[in-house]
C-alpha cells in the first residue's frame, strides 16, 4: 500500500510528499534503508529532470530550488547508504553562479531593482567582471543602496562612496496612501469612510511599499463595499493619483502598489539583522494626512513577537494614525530599516515597526506573486529552557507525514543549531514550498532523529485553519499553553484534567496547574478581535480546589508555528 502511494505521488510530481513519507517509513520500520535509498535516487532523477527543464526555460527560481534539493539528497542525510548513478551527466552550477544568472536575467527584463536584490543574495561579489561591477554600482547609486555600494568596493581599504541623502530627499520619496471607501453610517448619519496611510518608493517605475491593512479593502474577498485607492505626493495634497495593488503579504502586513509616475527618489531596504536598542531612527509619513512629516526617536526594544512570523521592533519615535506603511530610516545612510505598522490595541501609546530584514525575504515576490505564500513545516513549538518542543502537529503537514510526535524537540535546521523561534523562522523563510530541509529532533526517549522534510504552503492563520476540522481542545496547547485529558462520565458537558502547563503561557499566568480538573462551558471565536475565548469552571489545586469560573482568551495569530 505504501509503495503504491509513493509511486502515485512521484507520478504527480509531488517529490516533497514522497520524501516526507520515506522518513516515517524508515523510522517506523515499514521501509528498509536500501528501499529508501532506491526511492531517494528516483526523487533525485525527478529533481534533475525539473532542473534541466527550468534551466532551458530560464526559470531561475526553480533552478535554484532544484539544485539545492539535489545537493541535499546527494548528501544522504538519512544515512541509508545512497548510491546514486545518474542516467546522464549531471553538472550542478554553484548557488552564486545561479544567482548571478538570475540577476543578469532581471537586468535584461529591465527589472533593475530586483536585479540588485538578487545579486545581494550571493555570498560574494568579488568574482564579478569589471563591466558587471560598474553596471551594478550605477544601480546602487541610483537606488541609494549603501549595502550594495559597500559590497561592490574593489578592496577593503577603499572607502565606499555612499549616496548623500538628506531628510528633504527622503520626504520627497514618501507618499500619502489614501483609500476612499464611500460612506458609512454612524449614529444614523452618513460620514465619509476614509483610510489614510503612508508609503515610500522602492522602484523608479513608481512602485510603493505600504501596509496591507491600509489597502486591505482593495484585495480582501470578504469586503463587499466601495473602495478606490489613490496616492498623494508630498506638497500636492489636492491631487489624487490612482494606484493599484501589485502584491501583498497579510502575515507581515506589507503591500506593494503601482503608481504611474516617476518618483524623485527611490529608497532601499536595509540589511541590518537586528536594530539595537538606543539606536537613533527617523519615522517619515503622513500622520492624520499631514504629509512630509518627520519624527525622531530611538529603538526602544527589539524581538517583540507580535507577528506570526519574525519579530517587531518597539520605537519611541512619535507616530500616529496615517504613519502606517511609512519608512523608518537610519539617519546615517538613509536606508529603510523598518516599516511602521499600526499600534497594537493592548499597548496603547507604544509604537512598533516591521524590520526591513524580514521584508527582504519576500520583497522580490511582491512584484509577481500577488498574495504572498510562506513556507512552513506545520508544527507549533514552545520555546523554553530545553529549546523548541513540539506541542501541536498539524494534520497533513510535512512534520506529520514524516512522523514527528508531540514532545519531540527540534535542535537543528540544515545543520544550524536552533533554540528560539526567531532564528528557526528565519531559516525556514529562506526556502520556498517544495524546498527540502534537513531537521534534527530529540524524541521522548532522548534519541536523536534526523528527518528530511519538504516545506509546504503555510495558511494565513494556522489556528483558524485547524479549527475547521478539529475540536477546540486539540488547540489548547497552542492557544493557552496547556495539555488536557478528557474525563469520562460527564453529565453537564466535557470535563478535562490538565496534564501539562507550559511555562510563560496563558495557562501558567492564570495560575493553572497540572491535575486541575475543569469543565468547558462555552467557547467562541471573535473574528473582529482575531481571538478565541473559552469559559471554564475549574477547581484549582492552588486554591484548595474551590470551584471558580474563568475565561481565557488568546489571539488567533500566534507566533509559535514553524
Q: Report the C-alpha gap between 409 and 419 in whole angstroms.
A: 10
Cell of 352: 512598533
Q: What is the DSSP letter of 477?
A: H
Q: Report the C-alpha gap between 514 and 30 in whole angstroms.
A: 37
Beta-strand runs (E) in 187-240: 189-203, 207-210, 228-232
Cell of 515: 491535575
Helix/strand/coil (H, E, C) string of 161-182?
CCCCCCHHHHHHCEEEEEEEEE
Count the helix, strand and coil residues of the chain and give each as a percent rounded to the nearest 5.
30, 30, 40
CB–CB of 451/23 below 8 Å? Answer: yes
Cross-strand bridge partners of residue 176: 198, 232
Q: Reduce the DSSP state of residue 68 to 3 states and report it.
A: helix
Phi, psi values for residue 303, rounded to 5°: 75, 20
Give the residue ranges of DSSP H helices in 75-211: 95-108, 112-119, 130-142, 146-151, 167-172
CB–CB of 211/286 below 8 Å? Answer: no
Identify the CA nearest to 541 among candidates 502, 509, 504, 515. 515
Q: Between 33-57 and 2-11, two packed helices, what is the crossing angle to 10 degrees? A: 10
CB–CB of 211/253 below 8 Å? Answer: yes
Q: What angle do CA 133, 136, 140 make, to 5 degrees?
A: 130
CB–CB of 355/276 below 8 Å? Answer: no
Q: Report the C-alpha gap between 196 and 232 in whole angstroms.
A: 10
CB–CB of 162/149 below 8 Å? Answer: yes
Q: Between 130-142 and 112-119, two packed helices, what is the crossing angle to 10 degrees? A: 120
Q: Report the C-alpha gap between 353 and 331 in whole angstroms.
A: 16
From residue 302, alpha-carbon distances to 282, 305, 341 in Å are 16, 9, 15
**DSSP H/E element including 535:** strand 531-539
Phi, psi values for residue 22, rounded to 5°: -65, -35
Cell of 28: 517506523
Catalytic residues: 213, 253, 324
Q: In sequence order, which residues have a C-beta less than 8 Å from that of residue 554 and are 6 or more positions away?
A: 479, 480, 506, 531, 532
Amino acid at each position: 500500500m505504501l509503495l503504491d502511494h509513493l509511486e502515485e505521488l512521484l507520478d504527480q510530481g509531488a517529490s516533497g510528499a514522497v520524501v516526507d513519507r520515506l522518513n516515517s517509513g524508515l523510522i517506523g520500520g515499514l521501509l528498509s534503508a536500501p528501499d529508501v535509498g532506491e526511492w531517494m535516487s528516483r526523487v533525485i532523477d525527478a529533481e534533475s529532470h525539473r532542473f534541466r527543464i527550468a534551466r532551458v526555460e530560464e526559470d531561475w527560481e526553480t533552478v535554484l530550488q532544484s539544485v539545492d534539493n539535489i545537493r541535499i539528497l546527494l548528501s544522504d542525510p538519512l544515512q541509508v547508504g545512497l548510491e546514486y548513478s545518474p542516467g546522464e551527466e549531471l553538472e550542478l552550477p554553484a548557488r552564486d553562479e545561479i544567482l548571478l544568472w538570475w540577476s543578469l536575467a532581471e537586468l535584461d527584463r529591465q527589472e533593475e531593482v530586483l536585479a540588485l536584490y538578487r545579486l545581494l543574495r550571493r555570498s560574494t561579489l568579488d568574482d564579478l567582471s569589471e563591466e558587471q561591477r560598474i553596471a551594478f554600482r550605477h544601480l546602487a547609486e541610483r537606488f541609494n543602496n549603501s549595502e550594495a555600494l559597500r559590497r561592490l568596493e574593489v578592496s577593503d581599504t577603499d572607502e565606499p562612496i555612499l549616496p548623500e541623502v538628506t531628510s528633504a530627499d527622503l520626504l520627497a520619496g514618501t507618499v500619502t496612501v489614501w483609500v476612499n471607501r464611500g460612506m458609512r453610517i454612524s449614529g444614523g448619519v452618513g460620514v465619509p469612510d476614509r483610510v489614510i496611510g503612508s508609503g515610500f518608493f522602492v522602484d523608479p517605475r513608481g512602485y510603493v511599499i505600504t501596509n496591507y491593512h491600509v489597502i486591505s479593502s482593495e484585495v480582501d474577498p470578504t469586503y463587499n463595499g466601495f473602495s478606490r485607492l489613490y496616492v498623494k505626493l508630498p506638497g500636492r495634497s489636492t491631487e489624487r493619483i490612482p494606484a493599484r495593488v501589485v502584491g501583498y503579504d497579510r502575515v507581515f502586513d506589507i503591500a506593494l502598489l503601482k503608481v504611474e509616475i516617476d518618483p524623485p527618489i527611490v529608497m532601499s531596504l536595509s540589511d541590518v539583522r537586528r536594530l539595537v536598542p538606543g539606536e537613533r531612527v527617523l519615522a517619515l509619513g503622513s500622520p492624520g494626512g499631514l504629509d512630509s512629516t518627520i519624527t525622531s526617536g530611538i529603538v526602544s526594544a527589539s524581538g517583540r513577537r507580535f507577528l506570526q512570523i519574525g519579530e517587531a521592533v518597539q520605537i519611541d519615535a512619535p507616530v500616529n494614525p496615517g504613519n502606517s506603511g511609512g519608512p523608518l530610516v537610519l539617519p546615517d545612510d538613509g536606508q529603510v530599516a523598518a516599516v511602521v505598522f499600526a499600534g497594537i490595541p493592548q499597548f496603547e501609546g507604544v509604537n512598533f515597526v516591521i524590520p526591513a530584514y524580514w521584508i527582504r525575504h519576500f520583497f522580490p515576490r511582491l512584484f509577481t506573486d500577488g498574495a504572498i505564500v510562506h513556507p512552513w513545516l506545520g508544527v507549533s513549538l514552545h520555546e523554553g529552557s530545553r529549546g523548541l518542543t513540539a506541542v501541536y502537529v498539524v494534520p497533513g503537514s510535512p512534520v506529520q507525514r514524516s512522523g514527528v510526535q508531540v514532545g519531540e524537540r527540534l535542535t537543528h535546521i540544515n545543520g544550524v543549531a536552533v533554540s528560539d523561534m526567531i532564528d528557526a523562522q528565519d531559516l525556514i523563510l529562506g526556502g520556498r514550498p517544495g524546498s527540502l530541509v534537513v531537521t534534527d529532533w530529540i524524541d521522548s526517549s532522548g534519541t536523536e532523529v534526523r528527518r528530511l522534510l519538504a516545506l509546504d504552503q503555510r495558511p494565513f492563520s494556522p489556528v483558524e485553519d485547524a479549527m475547521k476540522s478539529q475540536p477546540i481542545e486539540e488547540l489548547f496547547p497552542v492557544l493557552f499553553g496547556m495539555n488536557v485529558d478528557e474525563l469520562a462520565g460527564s453529565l453537564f458537558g466535557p470535563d478535562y484534567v490538565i496534564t501539562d502547563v507550559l511555562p510563560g503561557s496563558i495557562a501558567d499566568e492564570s495560575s493553572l496547574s497540572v491535575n486541575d480538573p475543569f469543565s468547558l462551558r462555552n467557547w467562541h471565536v471573535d473574528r473582529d478581535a482575531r481571538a478565541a475565548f473559552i469559559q471554564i469552571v475549574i477547581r484549582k489545586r492552588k486554591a484548595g480546589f474551590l470551584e471558580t469560573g474563568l475565561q481565557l482568551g488568546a489571539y488567533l495569530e500566534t507566533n509559535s508555528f514553524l
